[in-house]
């Protein structure tokens, strides 16, 4: 009597069938990859054509850049992910933002000892524009924010904190949690904040307010004015431009990048 499906022969047959199935599976992926490769080439041509007509527009027009970035984000594409990407190579968007990244790092480093690593987007914008010189392309605040978002991956603590109608840019790896952020937002109106103001606006206990303020002091992001009338005031040097603007001194610039 023959037994079906059992025995060395059957096992070998099954193995062969599995192998063939695997092969077919690989062939399927191969097909799709080939298709993608072809479509990629076509897309590259389309992009080249677009670039030849509109590359200047992207370079010169900050609003157009915003549109471009938003559209990319909507379809799930990051034109700034790699310098080797098509977008970067053909439209030159990459170089624009990566160089901006370098300039942002240098400005933040040069001013860190003054503001503890916190700077308003406005001041950063002004300093970057100054550094770029009269003949460089115009750079918008939106451009800065996008460049900063990319810099986060370098692990240096770059962060964007919304305050008032604008943003504070953090460039040091200091830990700033929700409590710290909220106090920064409170301080934004006048450039300083007191324990009483925190207690009345945020309804916190004194201890909690003090902890947050001390942390900011330690990080160099806040300065203490004990001679203020009434109670001590905690000032944020990052917000000082409201009161007086300062240039980056040559010494500071030298210390920026060795």
Partner 1 sequence: MDRFSWTSGLLELGETLVVQQRGVRLCDGEEKVKFDTGVLLLSTHRLIWRDQKNHECCFAVPLSQIVFIEEQAAGIGKSAKIVVHLHPASSNKEPGPFQSSKYSYIKLSFKEHGEIEFYRRLSEEITQRRWENMPTGQTIQVNKDPQAGRIRAVGIVGIERKLEEKRKETDKNISEAFEDLSKLMEKAKEMVELSKSIANKIKEKQGDITEDETIRFKSYLLSMGIANPVTRETHGSGTHYHMQLAKQLAGILQTPLEERGGIMSLTEVYCLVNRARGLELLSPEDLVNACKMLESLKLPLRLRIFDSGVMVIELQSHNEEEMVASALETVSEKGSLTADEFAKLVGMSVLLAKERLLLAEKMGHLCRDDSVEGLRFYPNLFLTQS
Task: List the beta bridge partners of residue 234.
Answer: 193, 224
CB of 169 closer than 8 Å to CB of 158: yes
The token duo for 198 is: 């925190």
Assess 1 for contact with partner 1 (CB under 8 A): no
DSSP 237: G
Helix (H) or strand (E) holding 104: helix 93-115
Stretch that binds partner 1, among 5-13, 84-92, 198-206, 225-233 (CB under 8 A): 84-92
| Binding residue for partner 1, selected from 50, 137, 201, 231, defined by CB under 8 A | 50
| Binding residue for partner 1, selected from 12, 14, 15, 173, defined by CB under 8 A | 173
Stretch that binds partner 1, among 3-11, 151-159, 192-200, 201-209 (CB under 8 A): 151-159
Assess 40 for contact with partner 1 (CB under 8 A): yes
Assess 231 for contact with partner 1 (CB under 8 A): no
Judged by CB under 8 A, the number of residues near partner 1 is: 84
CB of 147 closer than 8 Å to CB of 62: no
Phi-psi region of 231 (alpha: psi -120 to 50; beta: other; left: phi over 0): beta
| Binding residue for partner 1, selected from 19, 77, 136, 228, defined by CB under 8 A | 77
| Binding residue for partner 1, selected from 5, 9, 133, 165, defined by CB under 8 A | 165
Residue number with CB closer to partner 1 (86 or 181): 86
Beta strand 158-163 with 118-120 is: unpaired
Instruction: Give the whole-angstrom CA distance, residue 246 versus residue 226.
Output: 24
- Number of other CB atoms surrounding residue 107 within 10 Å: 25
| Binding residue for partner 1, selected from 68, 192, 204, 235, defined by CB under 8 A | 68
Using CB under 8 A as the binding rule, the residues of this chain from 86 to 145 that contact partner 1 are: 86-89, 94-95, 98-99, 101-102, 105-106, 112-113, 120, 122, 129, 140
For CA atoms 233, 157, 95, 97, give the dihedral sign. Answer: negative
Instruction: Give the whole-angstrom CA distance, residue 86 versus residue 77.
Output: 11
Residue number with CB closer to partner 1 (5 or 250): 250
Instruction: Give the whole-angstrom CA distance, residue 210 versus residue 222.
Output: 12
For CA atoms 209, 211, 215, 218, give the dihedral sign. Answer: positive
Residue number with CB closer to partner 1 (204 or 234): 234
Using CB under 8 A as the binding rule, the residues of this chain from 202 to 221 that contact partner 1 are: 214, 217-218, 220
| Binding residue for partner 1, selected from 114, 145, 164, 253, defined by CB under 8 A | 164
Instruction: Give the whole-angstrom CA distance, residue 99 versus residue 146.
Output: 12
Smallest gap from Cβ 2 to partner 1, in A, equals 34
| Binding residue for partner 1, selected from 7, 13, 83, 206, defined by CB under 8 A | 83
| Binding residue for partner 1, selected from 59, 61, 114, 145, defined by CB under 8 A | 61
């Amino acid at each position: 009597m023959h037994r079906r499906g059992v025995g060395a022969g059957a096992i070998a047959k099954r193995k062969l069938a599995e192998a063939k199935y695997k092969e077919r599976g690989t062939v399927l992926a191969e097909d799709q990859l080939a298709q993608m490769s072809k479509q990629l080439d076509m897309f590259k041509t389309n992009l080249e054509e677009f670039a030849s007509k509109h590359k200047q527009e992207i370079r010169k027009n900050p609003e157009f850049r915003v549109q471009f970035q938003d559209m990319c984000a909507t379809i799930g594409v990051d034109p700034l992910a790699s310098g080797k990407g098509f977008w970067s190579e053909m439209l030159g968007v990459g170089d624009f933002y990566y160089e901006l990244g370098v300039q942002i790092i240098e400005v933040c480093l040069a001013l860190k000892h003054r503001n503890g690593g916190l700077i308003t987007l406005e001041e950063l914008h002004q300093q970057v524009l100054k550094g770029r010189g009269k003949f460089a392309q115009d750079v918008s605040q939106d451009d800065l924010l996008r460049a900063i978002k990319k810099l986060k991956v370098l692990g240096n603590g770059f962060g964007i904190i919304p305050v008032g109608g604008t943003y504070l840019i953090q460039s040091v790896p200091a830990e700033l949690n929700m409590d710290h952020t909220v106090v920064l937002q409170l301080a934004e109106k006048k450039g300083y904040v007191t324990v009483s103001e925190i207690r009345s606006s945020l309804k916190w206990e004194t201890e909690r307010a003090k902890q947050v303020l001390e942390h900011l002091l330690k990080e160099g992001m806040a300065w203490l004015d004990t001679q203020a009338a009434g109670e001590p005031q905690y000032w944020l040097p990052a917000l000082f431009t409201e009161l007086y603007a300062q240039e980056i001194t040559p010494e500071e610039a030298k210390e920026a990048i060795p």
